[in-house]
A and B are shown apart, each in its own frame.
Chain A
Amino acid sequence: MSRALARRETIAGYLFMLPSLFFFITFVIYPMVMCVWTSLFNSTMGKEAQDTFIGIANFVELFQDKIFLKALWNTILIVVVSVPTVCIFSLWVSSRIYNMPDWACSLFRVIFYLPVITGSVAVTVVWKWMFNNYYGIFNYVGTSLGILEKNINWLGDERFALWCIILILFTTSVGQPIVLYVSALGNVDQSLVEAAQVDGATDLQVFWKIKWPQIMPTTLYILVITTINSFQCFALIQLLTSGGPNNSTQTIMYYIYYTCFKLYRYGYANAMGVVLAIIIAILSAVQFKVAQEK
């Protein structure tokens, strides 16, 4: 490549990158750096706030903060319950619908995707009504079928609140995995499947030996996005329970919000953000590692 051409390539390259780089650096890289930096300060919201450098004191406090540990525990519980159920459920549904007639397959795909499209707030408010102590459909159906003896205050009861949240999260999480699995299963090499069937393989063998390895990349992607989504579960908590009753539905995401915008402890909230980022990064790395070895 001649020098003039190389220069032209460089200039053109940077000009093409420029608009995107501006937004990327200003609104992604800079706040990321600031998050880590501010987590080392005792800092409050507000214009005349004075920041004092306190090193890792925020992090030390974090791991002695009972509410944070409770939030961490709840978040891990949500992830541990919802990620496998979402993956298994969506794989099962997809494997049943992907070779149905086209209209049926897309109809089911659309329906399972509806809660995602409806939007977290609209979904949450209708579930709040359905779970309501007096006017909710769950209590009505439960008591009239004789399953429940009396009305249950689903979201106000420590025993049930978190499970209600997990259920709603589940309905809003399976849409995308189903779309992905249907397309992945449709792309499985049919000649291999047929060859195995000629050789007398059972459906289960065909699935584990042929289809499963081929949809592995999709499974990995679904694991990663479902984990991240479960970690970020926020609207449900904020609108349904505000972390209550008695912190039984407190999650890291909600606690970050609460610390920052209700307690105005800006530096402390950032320290939580850093911890959350590290946990998610480690989990994603582990998932990639495990999947690569298989």
Chain B
Amino acid sequence: MKERKNKSPYAIGSAVVIAILAFLFAFPLYWIVTGAFKTPAAINAAQPDWFPVEWTLRNFEVLFAKRSAPLWELAVPFSETLTGKTVYFSVGPTPPAAFRWLINTVFMSVAAMVLTCVTASLAGYALAKKRFWGRGLMFTLIVCAMALPKQVILIPLVREMAALNLSDTLWAVIFPIVGWPFGVFLMKQFSEGIPGEILESARIDGAGELKTFTSIALPIIQPGIGALAIFTFINAWNDYFMQLIMLQNTGSLTISLGIAKLQGENATDFGLIMAGAALASVPIIIVFLAFQKYFTKGITMGAVKG
């Protein structure tokens, strides 16, 4: 049946159309990467080069010539509230700003990912397997919050972060991502699959609650955690609006904000902007390709369970 269908003129025609569309979809990325290596003359020519005729590293040199702040300068969260002044943890040389932005972005995405996975898997497990007062209410609250659009919280968050002295620190972006209840919801759906009898027998054997969680629940919900991890990582990396309203200092920018800033300052130096865009997108695309299989599974599971 399949064989016959695959060879009909319609199937062949549509395969060709899809191939052409795929080419068009990949084109902007190709244009970023090649544009990053083109000379300003080639970029500002009325007739574009489909492929760089003359390769240059000039765009990256300009990009890396901009310096920002010491390599590690992370504000300790709540330090100002506790001690009266912001405590910075800073060491290391002053790298190019673009490099710093990349590090900020990686730090922000990884921190959001780890915190989300830890808190969500604990909470999801409790919601699914523990019987306690207020459980139904909490779950309802989580589902309701999820149905509301995120932008409702963003503007008030700016003020809240200012009051908590977290403005302009990466934590101001990380914490709201961790708080977003989708992860708890997803992990609850996964934890429903843990057989109650195993938990019961572990308890009878005298295992503590945390031990039961780590040795029995965790291995079972592991695929869910993997999916959630990738999901959170990519979302944090690309959450431009939140980064934009929370971060202003050159030292605390993420790579997305950095390119936006470059674009604002050098609107027509497309070579420089493409170098920035390449630096922003190539690492995440490599991560995506490396974990492609898990990633596809992650989005699908998120949808099916959600």
Binding site for B on A (CB under 8 A): 1, 6, 8-10, 12-17, 19-21, 23-32, 34-35, 38, 45, 47, 92-93, 96-97, 99-100, 106-115, 117-123, 125-130, 132, 134-135, 137, 140, 171, 176, 179-180, 183, 194, 197, 203, 218, 221, 228, 231-232, 234-235, 238-239, 253, 256-257, 260-261, 266, 269-270, 273-274, 276-277, 280-281, 284
Chain B residues whose C-beta falls within 8 Å of the C-beta of A194 in the assembled complex? 1
A118 touches B148 (CB 8 A): no
Chain A residues whose C-beta falls within 8 Å of the C-beta of B288 in the assembled complex? 113, 117
CA–CA, A294 and B160, complex, Å: 44
Chain B residues whose C-beta falls within 8 Å of the C-beta of A8 in the assembled complex? 209
The answer, among A30, A34, A106, for a CB contact under 8 Å with B292, is A106
Chain A residues whose C-beta falls within 8 Å of the C-beta of B179 in the assembled complex? 23-28
4 cross-chain pairs, A with B, having the tightest CB-CB distances, nearest first? A13-B130, A20-B123, A16-B126, A13-B132
Q: Which of B6, B21, B159, B209 has the largest number of chain A CB atoms within 10 A?
A: B159
B152 touches A273 (CB 8 A): yes
Given contacts A9-B132, A17-B138, A31-B156, contact A135 B122 (CB under 8 A): no
Given contacts A16-B126, A24-B181, A221-B303, contact A270 B156 (CB under 8 A): yes
List 14 extra interface pairs beyond A117-B281, A119-B256, A128-B263, CB under 8 A: A14-B126, A31-B156, A106-B296, A118-B285, A120-B256, A121-B259, A122-B256, A122-B259, A122-B277, A125-B259, A129-B35, A130-B28, A232-B149, A280-B149
CA–CA, A125 and B125, complex, Å: 42
A129 touches B131 (CB 8 A): no
B-side interface size class:
35 or more
The answer, among A16, A123, A239, A277, for a CB contact under 8 Å with B149, is A277
The answer, among A25, A128, A183, A269, for a CB contact under 8 Å with B300, is A183
Given contacts A120-B256, A194-B1, contact A23 B175 (CB under 8 A): yes
Given contacts A19-B118, A108-B18, A120-B238, contact A13 B303 (CB under 8 A): no
Chain B residues whose C-beta falls within 8 Å of the C-beta of A115 in the assembled complex? 25, 28-29
B240 touches A171 (CB 8 A): no
Chain A residues whose C-beta falls within 8 Å of the C-beta of B160 in the assembled complex? 27, 30-31, 34
CA–CA, A270 and B153, complex, Å: 9
Binding site for A on B (CB under 8 A): 1-2, 5-6, 11, 14-15, 18, 21-22, 25-26, 28-29, 31-32, 35, 43-48, 115, 118-120, 122-123, 125-127, 130-133, 135, 138, 141-142, 145, 147-160, 162, 175-176, 178-181, 184, 209, 213, 234, 237-238, 240-241, 244-245, 256-257, 259-260, 263, 270, 273-274, 276-278, 280-281, 284-285, 288-289, 292, 296, 299-300, 303, 306
A179 touches B280 (CB 8 A): no
Q: Decide if the interface of chain A is mainly helix, strand, loop or mixed.
A: helix
CA–CA, A129 and B142, complex, Å: 42
18 contacts between A and B (CB under 8 A): A16-B122, A23-B119, A24-B145, A27-B176, A28-B179, A31-B176, A99-B6, A108-B22, A112-B22, A118-B284, A118-B285, A121-B277, A132-B270, A137-B31, A140-B46, A221-B306, A239-B260, A277-B152
Chain B residues whose C-beta falls within 8 Å of the C-beta of A132 in the assembled complex? 270
Chain A residues whose C-beta falls within 8 Å of the C-beta of B126 in the assembled complex? 12-14, 16-17
The answer, among A15, A96, A239, for a CB contact under 8 Å with B18, is A96
B296 touches A179 (CB 8 A): yes
Chain B residues whose C-beta falls within 8 Å of the C-beta of A179 in the assembled complex? 296, 299-300
CA–CA, A119 and B141, complex, Å: 31
Chain A residues whose C-beta falls within 8 Å of the C-beta of B149 in the assembled complex? 228, 231-232, 276-277, 280-281
